[in-house]
Amino acid sequence: PGILGQISNKKFPESFQFGAATAAYQIEGAWDEDGKGESMWDRFIHEDPDRVKDRQNADIACDSYHKWREDIELLKELGVTLYRFSVSWPRILPNGTPNKINQAGIDHYKTFIKALKEAGIEPIVTLYHWDLPQHLLELGGWLNEQIADYFGEYARIAFKNFGDDVKIWATINEPKSTCLIGYGAGDSPPGLKLVADGVYQCAKVQLLAHAKAYHIYDDEFRAQQGGRISLVLDTTYNEPASDSDADKFGAELETEFNLGWYANPVYIGDWPELMKTRIANRSRQEGYSFSRLPEFTAEQLKYVNGTFDYFGLNMYTGLTAQYTGEFDIGEPNYYLDKGTSTSHGADWTPSTVSWLYSYPVGMRKLLNLVWNKYNPGTIYVTENGWASDGSLNDQGRIDYLQAYLSNLLDAILEDGVNVAGYTTWSLMDNFEWTEGYTQKFGIIHVDFDSPNRTRTFKESGRWYQKVVATRCLIDSCDE
């Protein structure tokens, strides 16, 4: 249909798993109940409600801490076999350290995971979806390499308690978002504007933390528990803004500085060459005797490289990129290091959030890029979804999901990319970080005005339910 292109009339392979995704802070509520500690998001928003567009917070959110049985009913009704959710670090370790373990938090997740499994739904458990314990933030947060050790302690407790039932683990969700928005732009906690250097240090610490958790799993749990573990990276698919070589280079820079930044150390080894040389050059001209991009020691390089059992990919949109040339030397800044300016295609459909335009073919292209460049063996698309005003009639979301899933299916059937599963963002409307409740990503509506947080299927939810049942994106597929 129109610019969305042809929708595949093939069926998804029987082995392909459909699912939905959420994150603890965005749905659970119960922010200080049953012994849960304070997270950096709790503090950031309580301290200054103006940091959120509608001055709301996630103290109650979808109330999933209490309404989890209903959430499982919704998943069953959808017919999905995967549910990606995150566990809250401060709910398990109130101050982030193993000094105090909150048994009520552990029991909560144990009960939830058992019930999921009984419903025939396999959990993908994210250990860290942005809710750092406030105490660890005060200890230096993602700038302090010691946080990697604390993350390892936390991961061990999670593997020990939940690992008999959890076979797919994700360590850290979208480290790039935390580093660029929290430590660069200052728009999310800790609200720092360290665009020259903090963004790079944050990336290094998050990668070390991921690797720590991976090795603990590998050394202490894998033999008995037999699961898989990786991290989740988000990226756009970047098109050159024109046919010029300069813009082709711009698109490459954009990809290396966003995806390669995290994927290279894990899947290939070390930061991308382009990042290393550009940042080292600029740093030198800025008066530094070392690069603002912190080096990994030889030991750290080895420690981080190869710490994956699959590739977790969050893919929402594309960008068009231009190379801006070398300018403003003397002003240390990630964005100047990158040397690009970005926009979106003139014919891409906008959503209600500024960064999200529909570019379905980007899904197929990105899956191929990840498959060929990083050789991950298996890919899970761990997030993909559309923002709208929250109405039940959400044809725009159906159009988006249908076109993206069609391209995902082409990547599997035409290109031979091994995509094992897909968890759409999101199971239900939830607290969209600093957008508050103004942006709705759910295929299920949540009434945030009602104390019951009533859940209602949107049209997209009904559509997805049918896709899951028939494995087909149109009325009837080729047999």
Q: Please state whether beta strands 444-446 and 455-457 pair in parallel, antiparallel, or not at all (unpaired).
A: antiparallel
Query: ω into residue 294 within 30 of 0, thus cis?
Result: no
C-alpha to C-alpha distances, 381 to 19, 233, 281, nearest whole angstrom? 10, 10, 36
Least separation in angstroms between residue 41's CB and ligand GBH is: 11
Inter-axis angle of helices 198-216 and 146-162, nearest 10? 30
DSSP per position, 100-145: S--HHHHHHHHHHHHHHHHTT-EEEEEEESS--BHHHHHTTGGG-T
Least separation in angstroms between residue 302's CB and ligand GBH is: 29
Residue nearest to ligand GBH (CB): 355
Is 174 among the catalytic positions?
yes
* Closer to ligand GBH by Cβ: residue 102 or 388: 388
Query: ω into residue 426 within 30 of 0, thus cis?
Result: yes
- The residue ranges that bind ligand GBH (CB under 6 A) are 23, 173-174, 177, 181, 234, 314, 316, 355, 383, 425, 432, 441
Closest CA to 28 of 412, 457, 427: 427
Inter-axis angle of helices 395-413 and 459-470, nearest 10? 20
Burial 131-142 (b: 16+ CB within 10 A, else e): bbbbbbbebebb
Exactly one of 28, 38, 122, 174 is catalytic; name it.
Answer: 174
* Closer to ligand GBH by Cβ: residue 234 or 410: 234
Least separation in angstroms between residue 23's CB and ligand GBH is: 5
Least separation in angstroms between residue 438's CB and ligand GBH is: 12
Least separation in angstroms between residue 434's CB and ligand GBH is: 9
Least separation in angstroms between residue 378's CB and ligand GBH is: 20
Give the residues across from 239 on adjacent strands.
320
Q: Which residues have a Cβ under 8 Å from the Cβ of 409 and sit 6 or more positions away?
A: 8, 10, 12, 473
* Closer to ligand GBH by Cβ: residue 173 or 424: 173
* Closer to ligand GBH by Cβ: residue 274 or 387: 387
Question: Burial, 224: exposed, middle or buried (Cβ in 10 Å; 0-12, 13-18, 19+)?
Answer: exposed
Strands lying side by side in the sheet with 237-240: 237-240, 318-323, 340-343
* Closer to ligand GBH by Cβ: residue 371 or 431: 431
Q: Are 276 and 293 in contact (CB under 8 A)?
A: yes
Least separation in angstroms between residue 315's CB and ligand GBH is: 9
* Closer to ligand GBH by Cβ: residue 290 or 355: 355
Exactly one of 38, 383, 432, 435 is catalytic; name it.
Answer: 383
Q: How far apart are CA 76 and CA 82, in angstroms?
A: 10
CA torsion sign for 357, 363, 364, 370 is positive
Least separation in angstroms between residue 174's CB and ligand GBH is: 5
* Closer to ligand GBH by Cβ: residue 161 or 238: 238
Q: State how far Cα 234 lies from the chain centre.
A: 6
* Closer to ligand GBH by Cβ: residue 90 or 312: 312
Q: Are 85 and 24 in contact (CB under 8 A)?
A: yes
Tokens 């009520």: give the residue: 104
Q: How far apart are CA 144 and CA 136, in angstroms?
A: 9
Is 479 among the catalytic positions?
no
The residues annotated as belonging to the active site are 174, 383
